[in-house]
Structure 1
Amino acid sequence: MRTLRPRGRLIRTLTATAALTLLAGALAACGSDSEASATIGAGSSAGTVTVGSLSNGAAKETTLKVTEVKSISADLPKAVADKGELVVGVGALPAGFAPLAYVGSDQKTLTGAEPDLGRLVAAVLGLKPQLKNSTWENLFVGIDSGKVDVAFSNVTDTEERKRKYEFASYREDNLAFEVLKDSTWNFADDYRNLAGKTVAVGSGTNQEKILLEWRKKLRAKGRELTVKYFPDNNSTYLALSGGKIDAYFGPNPGIAYHITQVATTPHPTRNAGKFSGAGASLQGLIAATAKKDSGLAKPVAAAINHLIENGQYAKWLAAWNLSNEAVGTSEVDPPGLPLDNS
């Protein structure tokens, strides 16, 4: 994760998952940097935010009551408060990455868990959300130039990024194991439970590195873990449904999304356990990202904590099947991935 890419190489696996869906045509329709949406969301009205709109089956549409909290909005930087809007950056071009950010079923509105949280935070701050969708690289250009106030775009908190940005954490950065729904196997936070299993993983990813380290430890104990590679996620899931592998190890959000897509098929799947994307020694965190010393991280974290305390945060995660990435508290600039693993 030495370059500013969403979750390092993990996002490549997540994007491949998105490509499996019928959303592909809509996602491809958005091919250059643009303002994706300037509204709170389809079906929203004053004092409410609707999450999960236009999700094409990826989320349960839920309307939440959210109003301005003046004790929190009072801490906004004057420049942001005066313009009355929060410019929320999302780096989802060109293809998007379901369920986090992608073009909705109307083929024009940016939807997903990340834009929805941006809308919720803006409501607590008493600001109109203006969503700007760009490429990943241009997302950071937007923050640096002041054209974007804060990014909600699956950005991992790292010590390297803290040199230029300030953070307000809002989700755990997790990997997960996906198995067939009728499988009795669970990871149970112990790599030794992988002994005797056949697991698929994406080549060149962070999760591959972790899995191979576990295989090495198991072999030192005289036990075996078989690691399989497939050219794409479609092939991986065919192998899973056909019983050729026991599990798939990949980014938790992509797995959460795929679970919703196959829930009513002959081969439904489930999550068999998660693991921090930062490894065993640190819980990785996804965080709202603003320019360093902008003064935005503090009120954004306070807004997220308000949503946590009042239950809207849990309902937002549940709508997108991401409850297993919940944090207890949003922190300003929490410990991030160290410089030697950023």
Structure 2
Amino acid sequence: MPPLSLRSRLLRGLTAGTAVASLAAGLAACGGDSDASTHPDSAADGTVTVGAVSNGAAKETELKVSEVKSISAKLPASVAKSGKLVIGVGALPSGSAPLTYVGDDQKTLTGSEPDFGRLVAAVLGLEPELKNFTWENLFVGVDSGKVNLAVSNVTDTEERKKKYEFASYRQDNLAFEVAKASKWKFDGDYKGLAGKTVAVGAGTNQEKVLLEWKAKLEKEGKKLTVKHFQESNSTYLALSSGRIDAYFGPNPSLSYHTTRVAKTPNPTRIAGTYSGAGASLQGLIAATAKKDSGLAEPVADAINHLIKNGQYAKWLAAWNLSNEAVAKSEVNPPGLPTDNS
């Protein structure tokens, strides 16, 4: 794995946050990589079906996306000639809903990330080919040329820019999940946590952030109680019973959970988000290609086309991730500093 502990901590947080889901059942066993089955999209008429076979995790949405010749003309010759965009995700062995997992047909790779890769491929006039890897081997795949583009919740970092080029497409956010009946909101100021009891996963980036806030509040004579639970079922039981006020974790997994419990006796909501990179920088998730491959620019142009034409917003809304929208895709925007670990 790349020597950046932030991403690994976020990944562990996502795993903990989605342990209640059974959607990942049936994902291929652990290994180097796995070809994904054909997704029920990429139709000849340019229709991309977002949220297909998602087992209710997304609102199935058909989007018409046509090739934009002025953008596809910028593709590297080798990619254009191949006629396909090989998209890598790092979801082996168990997947991570709603980002990437096997759908309810028990064979199709679905999730917000594969769907986004398919939308980008459509703008570029390329056939999407999904390949599933372990997290470590995803980067090996990009390095070796086996993968053109990694679309797998990869955080833009200055360290990674030594080997890769980026096209940003989502904010990298943490979130507070609370009972739907709760009146509390997080506005970005840690002082609003005074007197609260918050659960967080041990060893995660969000725990590091929360403990820093706890220390600040203690210096101000205020109390923040931090709780740890061994698994997410216990966390959500504590939330529904009122033993904790909030759960602090990666926004995608918490937003996903809110959709799963929306019609249950214990619905929840997102009370606010916070940049995974901290107060001074908005963390960004980016499509990742090999440095100097020439892919980042046309991919960013494709993303901006999707933003301008509304398909981007519909993709986010389908997966309940509208609170991670970016106004514009950028090529190699400022990333997480190398000293943030």
Between the aligned partners of 2:38 and 2:84, the Cα distance in structure 1 is: 10
Residue in 1 aligned with 2:204?
A: 205
Q: Tell me the amino acid that sits aligned with residue 211 of structure 1.
A: L
Partner of 1:187: 186
Show the counterpart of 1:333. Answer: 332
- Structure 1 distance, partners of 2:318, 2:25, is 24
For structure 2, the residue ranges without an aligned partner over 5 or more in a row are none
Deviation at 1:46? 2.1
Secondary structure at the counterpart of residue 130 of structure 2:
strand
Distance across 2 between alignment mates of 1:4 and 1:217? 26
- The verdict on how the C-alpha distance between 1:57 and 1:5 changes in structure 2, with shifts beyond 3 A counting, is farther
Query: Does the 8 A contact of 1:44 with 1:63 survive in 2?
Result: no
Normalised TM-score (structure 1): 0.96
TM-score, structure 2 length as denominator?
0.97
Distance in structure 1 (CA, Å) of the matches to 2:42 and 2:233: 34
Gaps of 5+ in 1: none
Q: Secondary structure at the match of 1:123?
A: helix
Match of 2:45 in 1: 46
Alignment of 1:312-331 (within 5 A): 312-331=311-330
Amino acid at match of 2:36: A
Structure-2 residue corresponding to 1:143: 142
> Identity of aligned pairs, percent?
73
Residue by residue over 1:227-270, the C-alpha shift from the partner in whole angstroms, topping out at 9 and shown as x without a partner, is 00100111111100111000000000000110011011100000
SS of equivalent residue, structure 2 residue 333: coil
Specify the alignment match of 1:84 in structure 2. Answer: 83
8 Å contact from structure 2 (residues 24, 95) kept in 1: no
After superposition, the CA RMSD in angstroms is 1.5
Query: How far has the Cα of 1:45 moved from its partner?
Result: 4.8
CA contact (8 A) 1:42 1:54 kept: no
SS for the counterpart of 1:119 is helix
**Post-superposition CA distance 1:103-131 (Å, at most 9, x none):** 11011110000000000000000000000
Structure 1 residue 135, shift from structure 2 partner = 0.6
SS at match of 1:26: coil
CA contact 1:17–1:254 (8 Å) conserved in 2: yes
2:58 corresponds to? 59
State whether residues 89 and 132 of structure 1, in contact with CA within 8 Å, keep that contact through their aligned partners in structure 2: yes
1:96 maps to amino acid: G
Match of 2:224 in 1: 225
Partners of 1:117 and 1:2 in 2: how far apart? 24
Change beyond 3 A, Cα 1:19–1:26: farther
Q: Find the aligned partners of 1:11 and 1:53 in 2 and give their Cα distance.
A: 24
Which residue identity is paired with 1:294? Answer: S
Verify the 8 A CA contact 1:156 1:287 in the aligned structure 2: yes
Change (3 A) 1:24 1:75: closer
Amino acid at match of 1:35: D
Count of aligned pairs between the two proteins: 340
Letter aligned with residue 177 of structure 1: F
Shift of 1:69: 0.1
Instruction: Tell me the alpha carbon deviations over residues 136-195 of structure 1, each in whole angstroms, 9 at most, x when there is no partner.
Output: 111111100001000000000000000000000000000000000000000111111100
